[in-house]
Structure 1
């Protein structure tokens, strides 16, 4: 029986908020809009690029749909694959991935980040070999919290027992809708209190994750 742990990416395995913030401010400045503080763009992360850009435009009093939105989405995505220089894995991530693999647990990614930038940042950080399956926000007709992307990752790994690991309300809802156990990383980009997010367990230190996976995947 194949066991697997599937991860969200931004705010879960990696702290990419600084790169996303810098890319958003460059884009907004190019179109004559004021930039954002880091905490503002961090609050926009989680639902994919179109939602992120809509939040940026809405916050500056601009129309969040239509031609300008489509143009900015395209420009942001064009530069997204190289927006990696400020991104780092959270402490303990690499060691946790190695321990999970040593336990015979398959690993995958299910993120709302477009798949090409997701693969690019994994490659930049030397993490790509851990993940034979990477499902991005443009890999399926729907994005999370629709369960289809997570179900697609499960099918790609051929897994029977699966734990999903994420940091946000979107990830929690995705797990609920996919009927999979959810481990919540408490140090990511969530916007609401921990107690208000459905989860089977929560952790703040990746050193705890291999033990959590072993317990939940028995």
Structure 2
């Protein structure tokens, strides 16, 4: 059986509406215009600090405000779960993969506090034997260290990474781990330009894709 690590935002969960809400809470009182969800979605993927930096840059806010705005963003983000939804079929796919004996982990750039809260909110923690957030290690994706750590915690066996973004594709490539891309996620780069082993556009298709990749002997390497 395989070890499979999953990204969270834009992969398992459509969390951009809640992230947008937390970002707008941080912007209150700055005089800056609030974000729409589509804008916030484009800033997701590289962790909270980079999200706030991108949001600030788009509004011409001075860099000196970053620490205060990040603190306010994290405070609002901690319980931001009410607009978030799992992608259709995601929970059923996890159930199927778990029943098949695969060992599962989370490898996200979302801070651990909000990660734990949202996993508990949707009852997802039961699926995962390891959880790594953006602040679990001194580095975060696309550095391969968090992915290596999550997979190491799962023991031995073929490894796969499931994500949605440019950051995830680079992480899997640098880690030497086959990466499957969920195409409706938050990616903005054409899929053809990203290193990946396979792609799927609905979670119903993932368990069969996992078996296909493992059966083809791609459980230990990536291809472009």
- Whether these two folds match at TM > 0.5 is yes
Instruction: Quote the Cα distance in structure 2 between the aligned partners of 1:142 and 1:27.
Output: 24
* Structure 1 residue matching 2:42: 3-state secondary structure: helix
Structure 1: 5+ residue runs without aligned partners? none
Determine the C-alpha separation between the residues in 2 that align with 1:159 and 1:98: 21
Report the CA distance between 1:39 and its aligned residue. Answer: 1.2
The superposition leaves residues 15-38 of structure 1 with CA deviations (integer Å, 9 ceiling, x where unpaired) of 000001111112112332211122
Distance between the aligned counterparts of 1:81 and 1:129, measured in 2? 20
- The answer (yes or no) to whether the contact 1:16–1:87 under 8 Å persists in 2 is yes
Question: 1:168 is matched with which residue: 156, 162, 165?
Answer: 165
Whether 1:31 and 2:30 are equivalent positions in the alignment is yes
Equivalent position SS for 1:104: coil
| Matching of residue 129 in structure 1 with residue 126 in structure 2 | yes
The separation in 1 between residues aligned to 2:2 and 2:107, in whole angstroms, is: 16
Instruction: Report matched runs for 1:1-218 at 5 Å.
Output: 3-64=2-63, 66=64, 68-218=65-215
Whole-angstrom distance in 1 between the partners of 2:71 and 2:148? 27
Partners of 1:133 and 1:21 in 2: CA distance? 27
Output the CA distance in 2 between the equivalents of 1:131 and 1:74. 28
Unpaired runs of 5+ in structure 2?
216-224
Matched residues in 1 for 2:115 and 2:158: separation? 24
Q: Deviations over 1:126-175 (max 9, x none)?
A: 11111121100000110100000000101111133111000000000000
Instruction: Work out whether residues 163 and 216 of structure 1, in 8 Å CA contact, stay in contact via their aligned partners in 2.
Output: no
Q: RMSD in angstroms over aligned alpha carbons?
A: 1.1
1:75, distance to aligned residue in structure 2 (A): 1.5
What is the distance in 2 between the residues matched to 1:158 and 1:32?
Answer: 50
Higher mean Cα deviation, 21-30 or 164-173?
21-30
Residues 135 and 153 of structure 1 are in contact (CA less than 8 Å); yes or no, is this contact kept in structure 2?
Answer: yes
Q: Is the 8 A contact 1:162 1:217 kept in 2?
A: no
Q: Give SS of 1:72's match.
A: helix
Q: What is the number of residues matched between the two proteins?
A: 215
